Amino acid sequence: MTDSIGQKPWMKTPQAIAVMDALEARGFSGCARFVGGCVRNALLNRPIDDIDIATTLTPDQVMEALQDAGIKAVPTGVEHGTITAVAHGQPFEITTLRRDVSTDGRRAVVAFTEDWAEDAQRRDFTLNAVYADRDGTLFDPTGRGVEDGRAGRIIFVGDAMTRIREDYLRILRFFRFQAWYGRGDPDEKALAACKALKESLSGRPAERTAKELTKLLAAEEPRPALALMAQSGVLTAILPCATDLSGFNQLVEIETEQLFENDPILRLATLIPEDQVGAAQIAERLRLSNEVRDRLVAAMGRTPRITSWMSPRETRRGVYAIGLAAFNDRVKLAWAKSGRTSATHQWRGLLALAESWSPPTFPLTGDDVIHAGVPKGPMVGQVLREVEEWWIDHDFIDDKFSAIEKLKAVAQGMAY
C-alpha cells in the first residue's frame, strides 16, 4: 500500500527544492528522501523543526552535489555520513544511508549502503524510520512506522535490549518520544529494557543527555513520561536529586491551567534542590549553557522570600533586588512548590504587579556622596548603599531632595 502525506509546504520551499534538485542532479530522481522528525511530525499534523534527508549518495558525492549547486555544505558529522547543507540560511541534515557495523554503546562504526531497508534498521524507533519522497509519498521499510506513529506507539526497531546496548542514549530518546508522541500504555519490552540498562547511562556524554532531557521536558504534557522515567529508575540515573516529582507536576498543571508557555528550564528547576551552589554544580555536570546555568542559579535563591501573600511593596523590593526574570521564575517555583492551587489569584497578582512595574533608577550617584563631604574611597560606596537601602525601605521614594537630606545625615554620622 502506498501511503502519502501529500506535498507539504516545507517540501516545496525554494530552499528544499534547491537541495533536493542538487542531490538528484548528482544522483538520480529518488536518491534522496525526507526522514525522521519532519516526516513523523507531518504524518501526525504537528509542526516540524529541522529537516533531515537520507540519500544513497556517498558523503563525498553529497559535498560535490552541493558545491556544484552553489549551496553551502558543512561536514557536521562526516564520520557517520552527515553533511549539513545551508540553503539561504536554512539547514538540512543530509545523511548517507548506512548500516551500523559495530558499536560500543557510544560510537557506531558505520558502513554506507544503498539499501533503504538497511538504513531503517539502524534508526531508533519505527515512527522515526519512515521516509517521504519529494511529493510526500511515504516509504515505510519496517512496515509499521506509519501505523505506530498514528497510534502513538514508541517501538524500537528490532530488539530493544540490543538497540540500547548499541547506544545508551536511546533510553532517553524513548522517554522523550513517549512524552511527545506516546499514547496509551508504553511498550513493555522497551520499558523493561530501559530499566534493565539504566545504570549504563551514567558517565555518558553530558551534552547529549541534557539535550534529550530538555527536549523531553519541553513536551506539552511530559508528566506521564517523566513518571515512567522515575518509576523505572532512569530519572535518578541521570539526575540523582530528582526523587520528588510533586513540584514538577504542579508546575505543569499551573502552566496548563494558566496558559503559560511550556518552560523546560523552569520544569528542570523543580527537579533540583533549591540551593544555588547545588544548582550550579548540576548545571556544570549537565554542561548546560552559561545562560541556562545563570538562570537556574538565580531562580534558586531564598532571599527575598517569595510568598503568595507578599505585599506590593515587598514585591517591588524583590523585583528590584533580583530582576524581573528571576523574580518571575521564583514566583512560579514557589507557586508550584506550595502544593496548593487555591492562592491562584495572589500568585497571578504578584506576576502581574512585577510585570507592570518598572524599577526606578536610584537617584544619587557617587558624585553626590562626594559633594556631601565624604572623601573618595570605599566609604563612598558604603554611604551610597546605605542611602539606597533607605530609599528601598521607603518604597523607592520619588523625591531626590529627601534622598539628599538622608545622604547628608548618613554622611554626618560617619566617622572618617
* 8 A C-beta contact, residue 354 and residue 322: no
State which residue, 217 or 279, has the beta carbon closest to ligand ATP.
217
Q: Check the CA dihedral 318-323-328-333 and report its sign.
A: negative
Distance CA 59, CA 223 (A): 40
Q: Considering the complex, what minimum distance in angstroms separates the CB of residue 51 from Mg ion? A: 8
* 8 A C-beta contact, residue 161 and residue 200: no
Restricting to residues 128-187, which ones interact with ligand ATP according to CB under 6 A? 128-129, 167, 169-170, 173
State which residue, 87 or 129, has the beta carbon closest to ligand ATP.
129
Distance CA 72, CA 89 (A): 9
Q: 205-210 contacts: CB < 8 A, separation 24 or more? A: 205/106, 206/285, 206/286, 206/287, 207/287, 208/169, 209/169, 209/172, 209/238, 209/286, 210/286, 210/287, 210/288
Q: Quick one: which of 15, 34, 124, 164 contacts ligand ATP (CB under 6 A)?
A: 124
Q: Considering the complex, what minimum distance in angstroms separates the CB of residue 120 from ligand ATP? A: 8
State which residue, 20 or 154, has the beta carbon closest to ligand ATP.
154
State which residue, 145 or 363, has the beta carbon closest to ligand ATP.
145
169 binds, among ligand ATP, Mg ion, none (CB under 5 to 8 A by kind): ligand ATP
Kindly list the strands in the beta sheet with 82-87, ordered across the sheet, starting from the edge strand earlier in the chain: 72-77, 82-87, 90-96, 51-55, 32-35, 131-132, 138-139
Q: Considering the complex, what minimum distance in angstroms separates the CB of residue 395 from ligand ATP? A: 48
Distance CA 304, CA 287 (A): 28
Q: Considering the complex, what minimum distance in angstroms separates the CB of residue 158 from ligand ATP? A: 11
State which residue, 50 or 399, has the beta carbon closest to Mg ion.
50
Q: Does 123 interact with ligand ATP (rule: CB under 6 A)?
A: yes
369 binds, among ligand ATP, Mg ion, none (CB under 5 to 8 A by kind): none
Which residue's C-beta sits nearest to ligand ATP? 37
Cell of 334: 514557589
Provide the pairing of β-strand 138-139 with 131-132: antiparallel
Q: Residues 14-43: x/- map of binding to ligand ATP (CB under 6 A)? A: ----------------------xx------
Restricting to residues 33-62, which ones interact with Mg ion according to CB under 5 A? 36-37, 50, 52
Closest C-alpha to 177, from 131, 211, 127, 142: 127
Q: Considering the complex, what minimum distance in angstroms separates the CB of residue 190 from ligand ATP? A: 13
Q: Does 98 interact with ligand ATP (rule: CB under 6 A)?
A: no
332 binds, among ligand ATP, Mg ion, none (CB under 5 to 8 A by kind): none
Q: Considering the complex, what minimum distance in angstroms separates the CB of residue 157 from ligand ATP? A: 8
The region of 47-55, 245-253, 315-323, 395-403 touching ligand ATP under the rule CB under 6 A is: 47-55
Q: Residues 50-69: x/- map of binding to ligand ATP (CB under 6 A)? A: x-x-----------------
Q: How many residues bind Mg ion (CB under 5 A)?
A: 4
Q: Does 119 interact with ligand ATP (rule: CB under 6 A)?
A: no
The CA–CA distances, whole Å, from 333 to 257, 328, 347 equal 15, 9, 11
State which residue, 65 or 129, has the beta carbon closest to ligand ATP.
129
Q: Considering the complex, what minimum distance in angstroms separates the CB of residue 386 from ligand ATP? A: 53
Q: Considering the complex, what minimum distance in angstroms separates the CB of residue 129 from ligand ATP? A: 6
- Contacting residues toward ligand ATP, per CB under 6 A: 36-37, 49-50, 52, 123-124, 128-129, 167, 169-170, 173, 215
- Contacting residues toward Mg ion, per CB under 5 A: 36-37, 50, 52
